[in-house]
Structure 1
Amino acid sequence: MQELIYIRCGDYYIPDIRLPEENRPIGKWGRMHGDYLMENHPSRFNDLCLSGELWIYLADLNEQAQTRLEVIVEQMKAAEGVTEDLKAADQMAWVGAMNGIRNRAEEIVLR
């Protein structure tokens, strides 16, 4: 356990507590998981908040989910034959196929 440093504010000494510096965004997946933790696992959520690790945890989770989503989308594109040739030949068919692939991949990651 680390030693606390106190600062003086008027007549009182208060702990000088600072959160770790974290600049990565938590993104869509991190926000969704944060809401899930808050509603379904409040003790875990509070532990992460009080230890200052919540933002780091959610940023890591967001990066993992985004990476997994990209991999799944690429695999589905290859399996279904959605290529740049289709995009050049029929843009609307390509957009429809990509929207379907993206929606299915997001459902896979979400579950």
Structure 2
Amino acid sequence: MNKYIYDESNGLWYELQRDYYIPCLTLPAEKENKPIGLWGQRHKRYLQEHKRAFYATLLTSGKLNAYLADVDKQAEERFERIVEQMKQAQGITERLKAKNALEWVGQMNNIRACAMEIVEREIIFA
């Protein structure tokens, strides 16, 4: 028995594994390898757990990395915009930072936590 055979009817190569021929399938290479940050990783985990069909479609089409990089970029921009808007709305300035650093850190941590929840609800888990 040959180790590899080619089936002209479907254009696939098959490899002999014990007594069975298994198709030699590979995922398509992605065009760009963009880095994926925190938000993209969280969205990937969400897709793997809750949107398996969509995740599999992106993975097999070779578009997963580009999609996750785009989601990461959108989420990061939205997060920064929300933090700036909340800082202005609550009057948190560099003057407060110089005057009372501990209070400034506490308020900024609160703002960042609220912004993270908003971004997760609007982009990551949508």
TM-score by length of structure 1 reads 0.81
In the alignment, structure 1 residue 102 sits paired with structure 2 residue 112: yes
Tell me the amino acid that sits aligned with residue 93 of structure 2: T
Identity, in percent, stands at: 49
Q: How many residues align?
A: 99
Task: Write out per-residue CA displacement over residues 10-49 of structure 1, whole angstroms, 9 at most, x where no aligned residue.
Answer: xxxx788751242422111111111111111111111100
In the alignment, structure 1 residue 91 sits paired with structure 2 residue 101: yes
Gaps in structure 2 of 5+ consecutive residues:
1-23, 122-126
Residue 28 of structure 1: aligned partner: 38
Residue 110 and residue 17 in structure 1: after superposition, are their counterparts in 2 closer, same or farther (change >3 A)?
closer
Tell me how far apart the structure 2 counterparts of residues 63 and 49 of structure 1 sit (CA, whole Å). 19
3-state SS in 2 of match to 1:44: helix
1:7-26 map, 5 Å: 18-26=28-36
Measured after TM superposition, the shift of residue 106 of structure 1 is 0.3
8 Å Cα contact 2:28/2:61 also seen in 1: no
Measured after TM superposition, the shift of residue 83 of structure 1 is 0.2
Residue 79 of structure 1: aligned partner: 89
Bigger mean CA offset, 17-26 vs 32-41? 17-26
Coordinate RMSD, CA, aligned: 1.9
Gaps in structure 1 of 5+ consecutive residues:
1-13
The structure with the greater share of residues assigned to helix is 1
TM-score by length of structure 2 reads 0.72
In the alignment, structure 1 residue 51 sits paired with structure 2 residue 61: yes
3-state SS in 2 of match to 1:24: coil
Query: Which of 65, 69, 72 matches 2:79?
Result: 69
Task: Write out per-residue CA displacement over residues 80-103 of structure 1, whole angstroms, 9 at most, x where no aligned residue.
Answer: 000000011111111111000000
Residue 19 of structure 2: aligned partner: none
